[in-house]
Amino acid sequence: MHLSENEGIEGQTFVVAGGLGFVGSSLCLELLRRGAHQVRTFDLCTTSPCSHHLLNKGVHCIPGISLSLSLCQILIMIGDVTRKQDVQKALHGADCVFHRASYGMSGKEMLQFGRVDDVNINGTCHVLEACVEHGVKRLVYVSTYNVVFGGKEIINGNETLPYFPLDDYVDPYSRSKCIAEQLVLKSNGRPLKKKNGNLYTCAIRPAAIYGPVSPVNSFEFLRPLLQSLEYDLPKRSLAVSHALVLGRIFQLVYTILYPWLNRWWLPQPLMLPTEVHEVGVTHYFSFLKAKEELGYVPMVSPQEGMAATISYFQERKMRSLDGPTIYTWMFSVIGMTLLFIAAYWPAFGPVSLLRDFCLFFFRSMWVMRMVFILATAAHIGEAMYAWHLAKKVDPLNARGWFWQTLALGVLSLRFLLKRARK
């Protein structure tokens, strides 16, 4: 079956839950281009790295969702899918909903079990109830391939694969998305309350897939992107079994740190078991059903997509500061702080142990204090040089280069020097 480009879109009102991300903002603009009467992006955030796509099109941001919904073609509506009243107001008068609001896909978010279930399961229930209550006839749920993938190899998978057992998921995100998807699909055909007809639902399962035909080795696919950005390619490999052990260690440590997971100063874990499976275990899927039933045809070739991606990231890199990892920051800042404490604080409690440890390397208090003074002076001198150089090669970020180099010294300056050589 082949559908026209605007079929089912012209004159309709759409809600995109979780619409300020890259996919959501692109979807909003595409719906509008194809003749939608109104598109509402419903999101918890007021801004995002992709929201400028909408704002550049003259989109209005409504701080509350109690205002008139007929003010413009695209509305950025601030609300939370976990609050039933927010969802009810956002979906009032809509014809179709794209539900892609979710939480906990990776990093620290993945370990916040309660929040993950609240957003992904309870939030989906609120969307379903609002659809039935307000007569929304179409719901497209953006799920994930993780509902059928749990670390075991999948070759050319399709829609007939069974769900992964709920008790066997290694992360709450995949489990919650599996439950939510089944709730959505079981609601297909549910009678509407205020209108004649039924609610029709479907689910799609996006994955890290690129290209129209053959499976892609992620590492080889990313090689030209990394090389274009002058990042070093990995020189060593790590077996999946060893990476899983490392991932479980990080999972244990960050579970202990649960009360502080939302704090900005706590870096993202290096890896978690689910991320090891996604990177280290072969899994790819067929889009044959979409091609046969919806007439899906890839619009961008892999070569065109990679060229556009390289251009985007090169431009983005030039607009921002280059710098080392968070672990380098911790090493430099914590190291200088500990050296200052050992050199100048009174010797009591743990300071005595720290001072004895430092004296083992520096041999005397005088040497220790001179090292700290010289290191501080070097950082100040390097920061002033960085500010002067950045004024010539990267004036928009000159202040940022100054402060970063003041904290990190040569560990930051080397990135600015590399940029200057270009």
**Catalytic residue ranges:** 173
> Helix or strand or coil: residue 366?
helix
Number of residues that this document lists for the chain: 422
CB-based contacts of 52, cutoff 8 Å, min separation 6: none
How far is the C-alpha of 93 from the C-alpha of 262, rounded, in Å? 36
CA dihedral 86, 88, 93, 99 (to 10 degrees): 80
How far is the C-alpha of 185 from the C-alpha of 188, rounded, in Å? 5
Sheet containing 74-78: order of strands: 60-62, 74-78, 38-43, 13-17, 96-99, 138-142, 198-204, 190-191
How far is the C-alpha of 376 from the C-alpha of 399, rounded, in Å? 19
Within 10 A of 57 (CB to CB), how many other CB atoms are there?
14
CB-based contacts of 196, cutoff 8 Å, min separation 6: none
> Helix or strand or coil: residue 294?
helix
261, 108 Cβ separation under 8 angstroms: yes
CB-based contacts of 332, cutoff 8 Å, min separation 6: 407, 408, 409, 411
